[in-house]
Amino acid sequence: MVCDNCKERDAVINLTQVEHDSKVTLHLCEQCAQEKGVETGVAVLKSPLGGFITAMGKGTANLLPTPADGLRCPSCGATLKDFRETGRLGCAECYQAFNTHLRDLLRRLHGSSQHVGERYAAPGQEEADPRHRLLDLKEQLRRAVENENFELAADLRDRIRVLE
């Protein structure tokens, strides 16, 4: 469809306006939409937060790398590919099975992968000793530095600080 405004470029956005109780829908190209003060999806993508914003909602799964698609959750049988396609995990165990991929995704989605809200222990189950958790994190930090993954290392350092 051609842009209603310049009648040259392809329309990429439908702008619906209600004026005097009648509805007018304009089909606009990115440039004309911007001139009318409408933030287009394309423009959002170009902003520094664009990657973060598109990561929300149904687009989430597409952020994951493809080679690991065959990775399978031993508990429910869901694969990483299933997650990429549906945007939904199969079960709680998937978080452990796809641990490294999800940690990366969660950090992109939420800015962190470390839960700092209320702690919870199911009835009859004691919460894991935080000291074990700390040792585990320190081991992860050592590996991250070894692999020169400094972004992850910084995140781990922050999480260790919280626990300490």
Partner 1 sequence: MIDLSLLPDGGMRWLDASGPKGSIVLSTRIRLARNLQGYAFSQRARDADRTAILTRVEEAVSASDRLGGGVGFRLDQMERGDRQLLHERHLVSKELAGLDREARPRPGAALLVQGPIGVMVNEEDHLRLNGLRSGFALEEAYANLEAADGELGQLLPFAFHAEFGYLTSCPTNAGTGLRASVLIHLPGLVLTKEIGKVLQGLSQVGLTFRGLYGEGSEVVGNFFQLSNQTTLGKSEEELLDHLGKIVRQVITYEEQAREMLLQNAPTEVADKTWRAYGLLKYARSLSFEETMNLLSGVRLGAGLNLIPGLSVYTLNKLLIFTQPAHLAALEGRSTGDPELPTMRATYVRRVLDAEAG
Tell me how far the alpha carbon of residue 142 is from its chain's centroid: 26
Among the candidate windows 4-12, 25-33, 103-111, 141-149, which touches partner 1 by CB under 8 A? 103-111
Binding positions for partner 1, 122-151, rule CB under 8 A: 122-125, 127-128, 133
Q: Measured between alpha carbons, how far is 65 from 57 in angstroms, rounded to an integer?
A: 18
| CB closer to partner 1, 2 vs 51 | 51
33-72 residues in contact with partner 1 (CB under 8 A) are 37-39, 44, 49, 53, 56-57, 60
Choose between 134 and 145: whose C-beta lies nearer to partner 1. 134
Buried-state track 24-49, b at ≥16 Cβ within 10 A, e below 16: eebbbbbebbeeeeeebeeeeeeeee
Does residue 25 touch partner 1 according to CB under 8 A?
no
Taking the least distance from each CB to partner 1, the nearer of 8 and 77 is 77
Place of tokens 């997650």: 83
Rounded Cα gap, residues 137 and 164, in angstroms: 11
Q: How far is the CB of 89 from partner 1 (least distance, A)?
A: 6
Question: What is the C-alpha separation between 85 and 75, in angstroms, rounded?
Answer: 19
DSSP 8-class letter at 160? H
Where do contacts with partner 1 occur on this chain (CB under 8 A)? 18, 21, 37-39, 44, 49, 53, 56-57, 60, 76, 78, 86-92, 95-96, 102-103, 105-106, 109-118, 120-125, 127-128, 133, 159
